[in-house]
């Protein structure tokens, strides 16, 4: 069995590669290492995992890597809010053109299933909680817009060309190997680096806002189940299905707290309706947030090279966020 994972050296991608190898798959990884890390895959032998460095948005001659591939998992793309506001063109090239190139390459061969990693950011500030897949699409920034537009590409290829695809809208994912790069972003990466450095955990607003977190191990199980299923042309929320306050996350991680101004364009509540994926794919999350955080605390050394964000640094990093999204 051969599978191909774009973005396979990244946080979610490398965990998926581990899972596929355990299931007996040979895996080709396509990654430009802009955020992915070779160290995430160093434990794999060349016989089971082949790593190719390339940029999907600029390299059109990628179809040769899709020959004899059964499953394609398209996880590659640029993330993060602030950089997408500062350099929207890069996000359109990476997330839209990159996805189109992957779709066209996969279409040349009779792959069994194409799984697209979409984002719950497409919902913006949702009108209803829990949020169903049918909720109104309201992207608030270029990252969210490009991820949703790429999803539209994938679904269009299904409708017109019978492309065997499923789109999974990931909610807030956490777990081992989450990104430690210099971009200010996901709450877990920020908090864990601060905890390791014995610095206050910077909480946005009053900390009572909620998020729906899913452990990467649960997410990988959902991705694999989607690949094996007979479903095509479907869109699913993938989340823990429970909301938890950011204050509670900070308390579970431990340490002092520092409250900073609330950012515009962010929802006060985030909670996915996951009834559709539970029913169609017979999947449900298993890892409790308390257990997941306990495991991360035991692996705290992973964040030793991550930037430690202070309120002053965050203010500078999010200046354009406030400037542009404050008008939305």
Written as six digits, the tokens of 91 are 């996000």
Kindly give the pairing relationship between strand 201-204 and strand 26-31.
unpaired
- Given the residues 116, 123, 143, 184, select the one marked as catalytic: 143
Q: Are 23 and 224 in contact (CB under 8 A)?
A: yes
CA end-to-end distance (rounded Å), the chain: 47
Q: How far is CA 36 from the centre of its chain?
A: 12
Distance CA 145, CA 77 (A): 13
| Maximum pairwise Cα distance, the chain | 54
Is residue 24 within 8 Å of 49, Cβ to Cβ?
A: no
| d(C-alpha 69, C-alpha 2), whole Å | 5
Distance CA 52, CA 189 (A): 27
Is residue 109 annotated as a catalytic residue, yes or no? no
**At 181, is the secondary structure helix, strand, or coil?**
coil
DSSP string, 217-234: HHHHHHHHHHHHSS--SE
What residues are labeled active site? 143
């Amino acid at each position: 069995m051969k599978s191909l994972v774009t973005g396979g050296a990244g946080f979610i991608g490398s965990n998926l590669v581990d899972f596929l190898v355990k299931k007996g798959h040979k895996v080709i990884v396509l990654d430009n290492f802009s955020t992915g890390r070779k160290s995430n895959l160093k434990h794999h032998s060349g016989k089971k995992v082949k790593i190719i460095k390339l940029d999907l948005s600029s390299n059109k001659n990628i179809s040769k890597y899709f020959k004899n591939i059964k499953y394609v998992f398209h996880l590659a793309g640029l993330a993060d809010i602030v950089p997408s506001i500062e350099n929207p063109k890069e996000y359109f090239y990476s997330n839209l053109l990159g996805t189109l190139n992957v779709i066209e390459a996969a279409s040349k061969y009779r792959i069994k299933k194409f799984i697209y990693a979409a984002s719950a950011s497409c919902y913006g500030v949702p009108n209803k909680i829990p949020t169903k897949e049918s909720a109104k699409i309201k992207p608030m920034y270029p990252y969210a817009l490009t991820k949703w537009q790429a999803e539209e590409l994938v679904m269009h290829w299904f409708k017109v060309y019978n492309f065997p695809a499923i789109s999974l809208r990931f909610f807030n994912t956490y777990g081992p190997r989450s990104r430690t790069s210099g971009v200010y972003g996901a709450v877990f990466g920020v908090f864990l680096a601060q905890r390791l450095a014995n610095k206050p955990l910077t909480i946005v607003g009053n900390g009572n806002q909620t998020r729906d977190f899913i452990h990467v191990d649960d997410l990988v199980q959902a991705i694999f189940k989607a690949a094996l299923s007979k479903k095509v042309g479907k869109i699913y929320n993938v989340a823990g299905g429970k909301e938890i306050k950011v204050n509670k996350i900070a308390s579970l991680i431990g340490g002092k707290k520092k409250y900073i101004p609330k950012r515009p364009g962010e929802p006060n509540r985030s909670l996915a309706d996951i009834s559709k994926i539970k029913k169609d794919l017979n999947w449900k999350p298993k890892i409790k947030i308390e257990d997941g955080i306990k495991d991360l605390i035991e692996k705290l050394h992973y964040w030793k090279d991550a930037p430690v964000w202070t309120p002053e640094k965050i203010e500078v990093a999010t200046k354009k966020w406030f400037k542009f999204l404050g008008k939305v």
